[in-house]
Amino acid sequence: MLDAADLYTTAPDGVDDGAWAAACGAVRDYCGWHVWPQVTETIKARGVGSLLVLPTLRLIAVDSVTSNGVPVSINEADWSEEGIIEGYLWSSRRRGVTVTITHGYPSCPDAIWGVLRSLALAGDGSAVTQVTSGPHSATWDVTSKSGSSALTEQHKTALAPYRLGVRP
């Protein structure tokens, strides 16, 4: 089980801890999963035929699986980093599949870090408007002075690779 305190990176110097936690929460809510850090947790899910779709886009390991309480050998199934396990007829009951997985990024991805700083600093007029990491650069038009965790279209574009889409 995840402890909420484990999900929040310590706020960088000059950033209020509360604003940082709110920004982390807003980003994770928008993405639909915790994204970072890498954790091992047990999830209850529902299969769709031979597909089991988990709330992650960075699946590292599948440790154990049961379907309707019956242990399933992961050798009977094939899984992808995007959180899809197939090759077994999964329970279609709500919470009928229990899976213990390791997933997430080991640290906060650079693009997300930039969004977090922008959100957390938006209330004091010193918001980050551009982040560059290697050959990649992202620029935001931050005009809100509310200090809230309202995501701009630029934020959403930066977060798109980490957001769960429509899933079966």
| Residue 152: band (very low, low, confident or very high) from pLDDT cuts 50, 70, 90 | very high
pLDDT value for 65: 95
Share of the chain above pLDDT 90, in %: 62
| Residue 13: band (very low, low, confident or very high) from pLDDT cuts 50, 70, 90 | confident
Paired strand residues for 136:
133
| Residue 76: band (very low, low, confident or very high) from pLDDT cuts 50, 70, 90 | confident
pLDDT at residue 155 tops 80: yes
pLDDT value for 15: 87
Q: Which of 166, 128, 162, 165 is nearest to 28 (CA)?
A: 162
pLDDT at residue 165 tops 70: yes
pLDDT value for 125: 41
| Residue 12: band (very low, low, confident or very high) from pLDDT cuts 50, 70, 90 | confident
Higher per-residue pLDDT: 122 or 138: 122
pLDDT value for 162: 97
pLDDT value for 7: 57
Higher per-residue pLDDT: 38 or 130: 38
| Residue 51: band (very low, low, confident or very high) from pLDDT cuts 50, 70, 90 | very high
Task: State the chain's mean pLDDT as an integer.
Answer: 84
Can you tell me the distance from the alpha carbon of 62 to that of 40, in angstroms, rounded to the nearest whole number?
9
Average pLDDT over residues 77-96: 92
Per-residue DSSP letters for the chain?
---GGGGSPPPPTTS-HHHHHHHHHHHHHHHTS--SS-EEEEEEE--BTTEEE-S-S-EEEEEEEEETTEEE-GGGSEE-TTSEEESS----STT-EEEEEEES-SS--HHHHHHHHHHHHGGGT----EEEETTEEEE------S-S-PPPHHHHHHHGGGS-----
